[in-house]
Amino acid sequence: MRKESVRSTVPTFHVMDVWKAAGERERTHGDVLVLAAGQPSTPAPEPVLRATRAALGDELLGYTETFGLLALREAIARHHRDVYGVEVDPDEVVVTTGSSGAFSLLFLAAFDPGDTVVVARPGYPAYRNTLTALGCTVIELDCGPETRYQPTVAMLEELPEPPAGLIVASPANPTGTMIAPAELADLARWCDAHGTLLISDEIYHGIVYDGSQTACAWETSREAVVIGSVSKYFSMTGWRLGWMLVPAGLRPALQRLASNFTVCPPAISQYAAIHAFGPEAKAELDGHVRRYAVNRKIVLDGLRRIGLTDIAPADGAFYAYADIGHLTDNSMQWCADLLAATGVAIAPGIDFDTRHGNRTVRLSFAGATADVQAAMERIAGYLGELKS
């Protein structure tokens, strides 16, 4: 039997094990409330669904241009102009098979084995694991409450040498914290000055609270790469469609790689996503964000009431990231026990933090408000039983 490759031996994404266990619990008990999923609980907006039905009847749905349909790239360019005041040429937009596809293509196009790329800890594990599989050296910056769990220029200055790349996410997964526009601009200028490729993950833009402001990295540097997606704000995770704003120097490499790896993103998703950026869809999607805000308050207030007060500032996205170190030093087992006792599924922090994740958990509040409320009540009851 042929053995697996060395590059494939990256850590598993443990939240997928949680989903599997939650599915089994649902089959046996029928009582699962899932606060582990990093996705909206709503379908795509109605204009997207209408466009999908029309495309099924009217379009060939064959291969498209490797970088995506011109009409979609134009819609994405207009989106960036309207939201951020950034003029984007459709030729600067690269449509991909989800933001995951964008990261994989970009890492291959921009970095060689041995190159050093900096990420925040805690942070999204696929950055670290994909880079590792491709032979890059990953430096994790230990980001805590003193910097709102985000990297800073001061941290970069302390590195022995400038890295080949820096990945930032604002709002971030798992913390929901954000980088202030001025601080993002400082990071972009530092990267430009030191020959570091700034990769700005902006897939949670549109989901912010309490007056928090998002900024696009291209407002400061056109040498950065901006990653977008229709998954989160646009409520289209399974449609697997993302995009990049890419400087000219990287586009030929991306063209060569993408045409060989995927030929093109899914055609049906492209035709549909053109209509995700219009005012009708936006009105529907903003309604989801208002519900997330209600759910956010339920979760944050509920966590504090049960004594979980060490919580990252949930500026955006739909997550609460809490320290449970006074309850356990094994977050994976604690989450498994919680699911077995209550039917509530949450994500262990070990996915997101290789050093401190054994004592943290992530709760998603993207679901129905009644489900979020019920889940918090079950958790409170469980902790009350443990204390008694």
Asked if 64 and 267 count as a contact pair (C-beta separation under 8 A), the reply is: yes
18: helix, strand or coil: helix
- Mean pLDDT in residue range 346-369: 96
Question: Cα–Cα distance between 116 and 197 in angstroms, integer?
Answer: 11
Token pair recorded at residue 145: 């409450």
CB atoms within 10 A of CB 71: 13
The H or E element spanning position 168 is strand 165-169
Q: Can you give the pTM of this predicted structure?
A: 0.96
| Residue of 226, 228, 245 lying closest to 236 (CA atoms) | 228
Confidence of residue 19 (pLDDT cuts 50, 70, 90): confident
What does the pLDDT read at residue 29? 94
Tell the residue number behind the tokens 């850590």, with chain if given: 11
DSSP secondary structure letters along 230-243: SSTTTT-GGG--EE
205: helix, strand or coil: coil
Token pair recorded at residue 8: 């494939």
- pLDDT reading at 182 higher than 80: yes
The domains located in the chain, with CATH, are 6-43+281-382 (3.40.640.10), 61-277 (3.40.640.10)
| Residue of 164, 192, 166, 169 lying closest to 179 (CA atoms) | 169
What does the pLDDT read at residue 17? 86
Confidence of residue 299 (pLDDT cuts 50, 70, 90): very high
Question: Cα–Cα distance between 21 and 14 in angstroms, integer?
Answer: 11
| Residue of 14, 49, 94 lying closest to 235 (CA atoms) | 49
Token pair recorded at residue 304: 């504090």
Confidence of residue 388 (pLDDT cuts 50, 70, 90): low
43: helix, strand or coil: coil
CB atoms within 10 A of CB 32: 21
Token pair recorded at residue 89: 């040429």
What does the pLDDT read at residue 11? 84
In degrees, rounded to 5, the angle at the alpha carbon of residue 189 between the alpha carbons of residues 186 and 192 is 150
Strand partners, 94: 244
Name, in order, each residue with C-beta under 8 angstroms of 356's C-beta and a sequence gap of 6 or more: 122, 349
Q: Where are the alpha helices (DSSP H) in the chain?
A: 14-29, 46-58, 70-84, 98-110, 125-133, 153-157, 181-194, 251-261, 267-273, 279-305, 331-342, 369-387
- pLDDT reading at 268 higher than 80: yes
- pLDDT reading at 341 higher than 70: yes
Q: Is 263 left (phi over 0), alpha (psi -120 to 50) or beta?
A: left
Share of the chain above pLDDT 70, in %: 100
113: helix, strand or coil: coil
Q: What is the pLDDT of residues 82-122, one digit of tens each?
A: 999 999 999 999 999 999 999 999 999 999 999 999 999 99
First and final C-alpha spacing in the chain: 53
Q: Please state, rounded to an integer, the average pLDDT across all residues of the chain.
A: 96
CB atoms within 10 A of CB 58: 9
Question: Cα–Cα distance between 345 and 367 in angstroms, integer?
Answer: 12
Q: What is the pLDDT of residues 31-53, one digit of tens each?
A: 999 999 889 999 999 999 999 99
- pLDDT reading at 386 higher than 80: no
Q: What 8-state DSSP symbol labels residue 380?
A: H
Confidence of residue 139 (pLDDT cuts 50, 70, 90): very high
Question: Cα–Cα distance between 205 and 228 in angstroms, integer?
Answer: 8
Q: What is the pLDDT of residues 140-153, one digit of tens each?
A: 999 999 999 999 99
- Mean pLDDT in residue range 119-126: 97
| Residue of 127, 124, 80, 121 lying closest to 107 (CA atoms) | 127
- pLDDT reading at 16 higher than 90: no
The β-bridge relationship of strands 225-229 and 242-245 is antiparallel
